[in-house]
Amino acid sequence: MARKVTVARGVKVKRGVEEKMRSKPGSSNSGKYKTVKPSEFAGAAGGASKFSFPINTLARARNALARAHYAPDPEGIKRKVYAMYPELKKRHESREKTQRMETSLRSAGNRAKK
Question: What is the residue range of 43's domain?
Answer: 4-85
**3-state DSSP call for residue 43?**
coil
Inside any domain, residue 95: no
Inside any domain, residue 66: yes
Give 24's contacts (C-beta < 8 A, 6+ positions apart). Answer: 30, 48, 49, 52
Inside any domain, residue 91: no
- For the segment 104-114, the average pLDDT, to the nearest whole number, is 68
Inside any domain, residue 108: no
Q: Model's pTM, two decimal places?
A: 0.71
Inside any domain, residue 41: yes
What total of structural domains would you count in the chain?
1
pLDDT in tens, 9-27: 888 888 888 778 877 777 6
